[in-house]
Amino acid sequence: MNKRWRCQSTQQSSVRQLVFVGRLLFLRDFRARYRQAFLKYVWAIARPLMAVLPLILVGNAFGFGGDMSAGEYVLYALSGFLLWQMFWDAVIAPQWLGRRLRRTFVDGPLRPEAVLTAGAGLVLFNSMFYGALFLSAYLLTSASPPLTLPLGVLALPVIVLGGLIVGACFVPLTFVYLDFRFGLPMLAPVLLWTAPILYAEPETGLLAVVNRWNPLTYLINIPRRWLVSGATDNDLLFLMCVALLAVLAGGIYLFFQRAMPLAVQSLPQARR
């Protein structure tokens, strides 16, 4: 009994230490990045939001919202984009932070998972602003929260975890090949349009087929529906996406654990 208690206590201490180190890495990088910027942390969310905000405001005029009113489409598109951005932040943040903190990994004995917790810290920070934008859109459009709103809120950590699972693949690869660092931001707009995030889901055509077979359709669209309109006929498909991510998580974590030490050793600073 005492041995089991000591083992659990050691595991809890290890998790707390990992979260603490990840928080320090996130704060160190975040403050250094915006140290000389007048608007400071506003730039963290302004760039992705301003790139799509004009489309959200006028997209309904081009038929992106289907039968939705202008106000309904703004809430629909903005909420979908914010959920997508949370997912993509979780994908991209660990490899961004890992690349900028590579010297720290060479000089200090850091656990590889620290870069994932640091990335989660960045996503959490950005999500506070995304939440404020979502609440503002609710107030401005005078929308009534559906009964499924709590389900949508509970789905948010799942979306972030899904992004971190995918992002963990790219961290060691980015240490070795800068192509991933340059290529991933270019991939974001393509993936954004493969799911019905900024447009109503079509019933026929090639895009409908792409939407139907794209896991992002269910990972993003179903929680968005829970947040703004209510339950759907495909709610169980969200759970299937969660199960798929759980299966992928095991293999990706093993790859991450084995590849990170090799990636750190390949850095020029480590070979001196």
Per-residue pLDDT of 115-142, as tens digits, reads 888 888 888 888 888 888 888 888 888 7
User: Residues 197, 221: contact at Cβ < 8 Å?
Assistant: yes
Given this model, what pLDDT does residue 251 score? 92
| 143-160 average pLDDT score | 91
Of 83-87, 134-138, 155-159, 250-254, the one with minimum mean pLDDT is 134-138
Given this model, what pLDDT does residue 37 score? 64
Which tops the pLDDT comparison, 24 or 220?
Answer: 220
Q: The dihedral of CA 245, 250, 251, 252: what is its sign?
A: positive
Between CA 11 and CA 75 the distance in angstroms is 43
**Is pLDDT of 223 > 90?**
yes
User: Residues 96, 74: contact at Cβ < 8 Å?
Assistant: no
| 32-48 average pLDDT score | 66
**Is pLDDT of 7 > 50?**
no
Between CA 251 and CA 247 the distance in angstroms is 7
How do residues 159-173 score in pLDDT, each as one tens digit? 999 999 999 998 888
Q: Please, which pLDDT band fits residue 2 given cuts at 50, 70 and 90?
A: very low
How do residues 43-73 score in pLDDT, each as one tens digit? 666 666 676 777 777 777 777 888 888 888 8
Between CA 264 and CA 266 the distance in angstroms is 5
Of 36-45, 127-136, 137-146, 147-156, the one with minimum mean pLDDT is 36-45
Q: Is 36 helix (H, G, I), strand (E, B) or coil?
A: coil
User: Residues 80, 225: contact at Cβ < 8 Å?
Assistant: no
Q: The dihedral of CA 12, 18, 24, 27: what is its sign?
A: negative
- % of the chain beyond a pLDDT of 90: 26
**Is pLDDT of 229 > 60?**
yes
Between CA 142 and CA 156 the distance in angstroms is 23
| 173-198 average pLDDT score | 85
| 87-109 average pLDDT score | 81
Given this model, what pLDDT does residue 182 score? 83
- Domain-by-domain residue ranges, the chain? 15-271
Between CA 138 and CA 223 the distance in angstroms is 16
For the entire predicted model, the pTM comes to: 0.85
